[in-house]
Amino acid sequence: MKISKAEVVHVADLARLELDDAAIDRFAGQIDTVLAYVDMLKEADTQGVSPTSHAISLSNAFREDAMKKSLDREAALANAPERDDENFVVPRVIG
Amino acid sequence: MKLYELTLHEAHGRLKRGDISSRELTGAVLDRIGNLNGDIGAYITVDRAGALAAADAADARIASGDVVPLTGIPLAVKDLMCTEGLKTTCASKILEDFVPPYDAAVVEKLKAQGAVIVGKTNMDEFAMGSSNEHSAFGPTRNPWDRSRIPGGSSGGSAAAVAADMCIAALGSDTGGSIRQPASHCGVAGLKPTYGRVSRYGLVAFASSLDQIGPIAKDVRDCALMMNAIAGHDPRDSTSVPRNAPDYTAALKEDLAGLRVGIPKEYIEQEGLHPDVSRAIRSAVSTIEGLGAEAVTVSLPHVRYVVAAYYVIAPSEASSNLARYDGVKYGFRNTSGDDLLAMYRNTRSEGFGPEVQRRIIIGTYCLSAGYYEAYYGKASQVRTRIREDFENALTTCDAILSPVAPTPAFPIGEKVDDPLTMYLSDIFTLSANLAGIPGMSVPCGFSGEGLPIGLQIMGRHFDEETLLRVAHAFQCATDFHTSRPTL
């Protein structure tokens, strides 16, 4: 087995997901199957091969450091689930 | 012929001559959507008022003598490209009420030509899927057989084009999401070279793979859409500073002097449906008949593409989707009493199961102690795959293959079996990993009457050869003129 139920719960927690028992049971088996399949990557000879992060590699995509209009505050706040006049509002951070 | 049946270039001709107005054309398309969308589920949002206003503006522009190919043309946009003032949901509950404050670069470009955006098309949630079953707003059905999937993740765009619910559409393709639904719906679709089209305003899934492209009724329409959207954009740092050509200049009727490569690994691929195999062989013969020389090429590392992709794409997705936290926009679950509980409850309720699975796989692959074995190794294998294609494309000008191993499968068949679903992407993932352009063009029908697509892949930035092969093939065949009975 590549991944246990406990590991699935731990990794989900790192990703800020909380799974119910049914989801843990279902996901653990499915994710284990996928991880077992991708294990075939080990067979590939990649000795000395550089990784490809982008197929078309650009370095230093510069632009002029010019002032430009950005979203105004009202537009930026318009989709907020909760807000006041100037800020995003979130639940209590420190207990 | 009904107005909604027109291709983009036919509609443009009629608008330019003043035979029809954009108002009439747009009205016909909106009525068609009204009649069919309940069954097909191609659109998440239809913007009737906005479309008619844009049509009137286009008619005024045409009356003043200013008409370019997309002026007044009703188009559909996949629901993961931002449209100012028009809901953009990514087919996810977590963005169900999100109204973008700006337009994606491609949407700006469509609007600059005076195009009419009729609505936002259905998709797999956050573009993760090959069937459009993973939409929070219900599946899209294949217009050729409504018990089957249209393909995904741009399934709504492909179904809308096939069912004449728009004249042409934009999709996005991270592992085949333009080509595979185009194949299953019997229309043309092009995934351009990575970096060819700006992704500014495209909701990110896997940033090293995502690319926007057209889905249309024929190859000329794809070329016209490419003319509108291709080109450098400094707001997307992966956009390549290189001028885009006039893609319609590539549309020739013969293929004299061209070499097409047939990968031996794909011919030997297990699980290839006999009807697909037959259609592809026949398409290769047609292409040879048009003057091209077919040669066998080898892509020794393609056996690793599904494994490499399903490490790289979920890893990047897990990082990109960290931004959906219920703070700045989108859905929030308010039941928890502190911030951490709000994050967990929001994300667990807001994301569907496939998105959660991929976030977990990606987070696992990137976590301490596993990064090198998974993401690092997959990125090295990706280099091998890219080199395979670059090598093959020194001995030929384009590579031909199936798009999907089978015709469209029944809704529900693979939805609880992620690995089997992932394996259906085997022919399309390579182009994204290698960054090369890929196209699907209709090349036949299965015994059950379902469309089959031919995939044409080419060198970086050589979309023109793909369009040339596809156009010549269409000039010699009539598969692209068949439409489903609706």
Of B92, B131, B153, B424, which residue is the catalytic one?
B153
Q: Tell me what pLDDT residue B270 has.
A: 83
Asked whether B429 and B423 are in contact (CB, 8 A), the reply is no
Buried b (16+ CB within 10 A) or exposed e, B252-269: beebeebebbbbeebeeb
Supply the CATH number for residue B13's domain.
3.90.1300.10
Question: Residues A9-20: what's their mean pLDDT?
Answer: 97
Give the bridge partners for A83, in sequence order. A88
**Helix, strand, coil tally for chain A in percent (to 5):** 40, 0, 60
- pLDDT tens, residue by residue, B263-273: 999 888 888 99
% of residues, chain B, pLDDT over 90: 96
> Distance (Å, rounded) from C-alpha B239 to C-alpha B220?
24
Question: Residue B475 domain-assigned?
Answer: no
CA distance B212 to B230: 9
Considering only alpha carbons, which residue of chain A is nearest residue B357?
A27
Instruction: Say how many Å lie between the first and final Cα of chain A, rounded.
Output: 39
Distance from CA of B184 to the nearest CA of A (A): 25
- What's the Cα-to-Cα distance from B143 to each of B77, B109, B153, B187, B450, rounded to whole Å? 18, 29, 16, 11, 10
Answer positive or negative: Cα dihedral of B462, B463, B466, B467. Answer: negative
Q: Interior CA angle at B46 toward B44 and B50, to 5°?
A: 145
> What are the tokens at B437?
């352009």
Catalytic residue among B177, B198, B239, B315: B177
- Burial class of residue A45 in the structure, from the number of CB atoms within 10 Å of its CB (0-12 exposed, 13-18 middle, 19+ buried): exposed
Residue B17, burial from CB neighbour count under 10 angstroms (0-12, 13-18, 19+): exposed
Taking CB atoms and an 8 Å limit, are B364 and A76 in contact across chains? no
Each domain of chain A, given as residue ranges in start order, spans 5-43
What is the mean pLDDT of the segment spanning B173-191?
A: 98
Q: How many CB atoms lie within 10 A of CB B406?
A: 17
Q: Which of A2, A4, A7, A11 to mutate to test the interface with B (most CBs of B within 10 A)?
A: A11
Asked whether residue B196 is assigned to any structural domain, the reply reads: yes
Condensed to tens digits (0 to 9), the pLDDT of residues B397-424 reads 999 999 999 999 999 999 889 998 999 9
Q: Which residues of A touch B345 (CB under 8 A)?
A: 18
Average predicted confidence (pLDDT) for chain A: 93
Q: How many percent of chain B have pLDDT more than 70?
A: 100
Which H or E run includes B386? helix B377-395
Q: Which residues of A touch B301 (CB under 8 A)?
A: 44
Query: How high is the pLDDT of residue B416?
Result: 87
Phi and psi at residue B457, in whole multiples of 5°? -120, 155
- Per the structure, the count of domains in chain B is 1
What number of other Cβ atoms are within 10 A of residue A20's Cβ?
9
Best residue in A1, A46, A86, A88 for a mutation probing chain B (most B CBs within 10 Å):
A46
Q: Out of B327, B337, B380, whose CB is closest to A49?
A: B380
CB of B242 within 8 Å of a chain A CB? The answer is no
Instruction: Please check whether residue B409 lies inside any domain of the structure.
Output: no
Task: Write out pLDDT tens, residues B310-331.
Answer: 999 999 999 999 999 999 999 9
Tens-place pLDDT, residues A52-75: 998 887 888 888 889 989 999 999
**ipTM of this predicted structure:** 0.96
Tell me which amino acid residue B455 is.
Q
**Span B340-360, average pLDDT:** 97
Query: Which of A2, A52, A83, A87 to mutate: most B Cβ within 10 Å?
Result: A52
**pLDDT recorded at residue B271:** 87
* pLDDT band per the 50, 70, 90 thresholds, residue B245: very high
Written as six digits, the tokens of B397 are 């000008």
Q: Measured between alpha carbons, how far is B179 from B157 in angstroms, rounded to an integer?
A: 11
DSSP string, B119-166: EEE--SGGG--SSS---TT----BTTBTTB---SSSHHHHHHHHTTSS
The pair of structure tokens assigned to A90 is: 């979130």
Q: How many CA atoms within 13 Å lie on the side-chain side of B146?
A: 10
- Confidence bin at B250 (pLDDT 50/70/90): very high
CB contact under 8 A, A88 and B363: no
Determine the average pLDDT of the residues in B251-263.
95
Whether A68 has its CB under 8 Å from any CB of chain B: the answer is: no
* Interchain proximity A50–B304, CB inside 8 Å: no
CA geometry: angle at B22 spanning B17 and B26, to 5°? 140
Cα A34–B129–A79 angle (5° rounding)? 120
Q: Rounded CA gap, B44 and B125, in Å?
A: 12
Q: What is the pLDDT of residues B33-59, one digit of tens each?
A: 999 999 999 999 999 999 999 999 999
Q: Quick one: pLDDT at residue B267? A: 81
Q: Give catalytic status of residue B177 as yes or no.
A: yes
The domain in which residue B199 lies consists of 3-256
List the single residue in A34, A81, A93 with the smallest CB-CB distance to B419.
A34
- Interface membership of B356 toward A (CB under 8 Å): yes
Please give the C-alpha separations between residue B251 and each of B362, B471, B475, in angstroms, as whole numbers: 41, 6, 10
Residue A95 is predicted with a pLDDT of: 67
Q: Is B78 a catalytic residue?
A: yes
The pLDDT-based confidence of B232 (bands split at 50, 70, 90) is very high
Q: Mean pLDDT across chain B, nearest whole number? A: 97
The predicted structure's pLDDT at residue A57: 77
Among all chains, which residue has been given the structure tokens 């690995």? Answer: B419
Is residue A75 within 8 Å of residue B101, measured between CB atoms?
Answer: yes
Q: Exposure pattern of B173-186 as b/e (b: 16+ CB <10 Å)? A: bbbbbbbbbbbbbb
* Domain-embedded: residue B389: no
The pLDDT, as a whole number, for residue B324 is 98
Q: What is the DSSP string of B448-477?
A: TS-EEEEEEEESTT-HHHHHHHHHHHHHH-
